[in-house]
Chains A and B, each alone.
Chain A
Amino acid sequence: MMRNVFPLWRLALFLFVLLASPARAEEGLLPDALVRNVSEEVLETLRQKKGGAREIIALVQEKVLPHFDFRHMTQLAVGRDWRKATPEQQNALTKQFRDLLVRTYVNAVSVYSGQKMTYKPLKIAPGDTRVLVRTEVSQSGGTPIPVDYGMEKTGQGWKVYDVAVGGVSLIINYRDSFAQEIHAGGIDGLIASLSAKNRELAAKNK
């Protein structure tokens, strides 16, 4: 059972950061084209294997992060309690959750080992503001793993608000633990736990 769930994460983490692009030029693109361009560009960089951890972080920050809507992601992970949070608390939650996702997922890029992405046809009707962009990642000899990007149309183009690997949403994975933290210590308790986690990771990765 764990066998089925676990190997996905390795890919998931690396894929999470695959979405990248020079943001402005591609604002008008359809979401599937955006995913494709960005992924291929980042894959190309990874294939050339230049740069260490520092370069990868820079790549992610410049190309990938602009396409993610971290506020929406945080709202999804917090769920019903989001509306109980003040605007300041919402900002703090978004910042801490963003740091956690970026910090943990940047590490995953280093596991890239020649996986290929294929892109499924997009199903979109005129006027749709939310779509699921479906891709598949394959490794030689392995079963292809579906990776789906939940994307939403915003004033700044299409943004990713969730990534699901093999049907597992990386955001929803946090929902239970967030609810638990809020149950125990309120919104501020969750903010404190997240920032403690980030500090711990920062100290370890130094």
Chain B
Amino acid sequence: MCLKNCFWIASFLSLLFLSGCAAERAPSAQDPFEGFNRAMFAVHERIDSALLKPAAQGYDALTPLPVKTGAFNFFDNFRDIGRGGNAFLQGKGQEGLSGWARFLINSTVGLFGVFDVASEMDVSRGDADFGQTLGVWGVSSGPYLFVPLAGPFTGRDLAGFAVDQSIDPLWRQVEDHPALRNSLLGLSAVQARARLLPADRVLEEASLDKYAYLRAAYLQRRAAQIRGETALNEDEEDNDDSDLREGAAQ
């Protein structure tokens, strides 16, 4: 699984660098391959509207809420291990402990992760991942990349994602059972997409340009996660937002 992932990511990256020169728009500092990324976004939208979205809508309509929640919890439970580990790597001891405690509690009391008992006990879910960890360690974000079906990334976060995936125990368990692995992969993708359905209309209605809106949201979100706080970006002309920064510091 990991090897295959790495292969695809490597071929994707080389493709990306080859076609990077094709960007036609006013270059954005964080999106040097905009032309290529927009093409990938268009591919994504086509696959999504033909395949993934209808599947997600069907799943959403036919599945009772407790089953949906259980499916999400099951897949998400495994990620608590990586989130906890990454929190430790970022120096957030408490969040790291919470993550690992969540996995222990939910895997046992929560029946293999189907019930999120830990959240009921106020042990809240973290959001640390390896891309963030690299960012906290000072690795810069690299170019923005849109990967069809997987969504927006930066170079750094795509590398981080590959690392997180390769240590996810669920996928390691099933990597030698293709039929089981592919069914789980499909279910995981459909349930993840179903959770995004409410956002579709918003993105459609709020944005002048879906691609640019999504890119701005993603880049802001990642920067805030790495910084650990909100910092509102002020007008270029007036730079006296130091009070805001202080106001936001914990």
Contact = CB atoms under 8 A, between A and B. Distances in A.
Contacts of A2: 150-152, 196, 218
A83 B215 CA distance: 26
Which among B195, B224, B232 has the highest number of chain A CB atoms within 10 Å?
A: B232
B120 to A, nearest CB: 7
A128 interface: yes
B199 A173 contact: no
A175 B152 CA distance: 18
B205 A5 contact: no
Contacts of A177: 207-209, 212-213
Interface in B175-203: 192, 195-196, 198-199, 201-203
Nearest to A133: B247
Chain B at the A interface: mostly helix, strand, loop or mixed? helix
B102 to A, nearest CB: 11
Nearest to B149: A2
Contact of B202 (A104, A144, A183, A201): A104
B4 interface: no
B124 interface: yes
Interface residues of A, number: 61
Contact of A180 (B26, B151, B224): B26
Given A2-B196, A148-B248, A176-B212, A169 B232 contact: yes
A166 B247 contact: no
A29 interface: no
Interface in A3-28: 3-10, 13
A166 B221 CA distance: 7
Contacts of A134: 230, 248
A130 B73 CA distance: 40
Interface string B149-176: 0111100010001000000000000000
A181 interface: yes
Interface stretch (A43-51, A72-80, A84-92): A72-80
Nearest to B202: A9
Contacts of B62: none
Given A128-B243, A164-B230, A169-B220, A176 B28 contact: yes
A176 B201 CA distance: 20
Interface in B107-153: 116, 119-120, 124-127, 150-153
Contacts of B125: 143
Contact of B199 (A10, A141, A169, A193): A10
Nearest to B203: A9
A3 B195 contact: yes
B69 interface: yes
A78 B212 CA distance: 14
Which among A105, A130, A143, A175 has the highest number of chain B CB atoms within 10 Å?
A: A130
A189 to B, nearest CB: 11
B217 A104 contact: no
A148 B232 contact: yes
Contacts of A103: 205
B243 A173 contact: no
Given A4-B221, A167-B221, A107 B205 contact: yes
B208 A194 contact: yes
Contact of B225 (A3, A104, A167, A175): A167
Contacts of A144: 124
A7 B195 CA distance: 7
Contact of B247 (A82, A105, A132, A162): A132
Given A164-B230, A181-B208, 6 more contacts: A5-B217, A7-B196, A123-B247, A167-B230, A173-B217, A173-B220
Interface of A: 1-10, 13, 75-76, 79-80, 82-83, 100, 103-105, 107-108, 111, 122-125, 128, 130-132, 134, 141-144, 146, 148, 150, 162, 164, 166-169, 172-181, 183, 193-194, 197, 201
Interface of B: 25-26, 28, 69, 116, 119-120, 124-127, 150-153, 157, 161, 192, 195-196, 198-199, 201-203, 205-209, 212-218, 220-221, 223-225, 227, 229-230, 232-237, 241, 243-244, 246-248
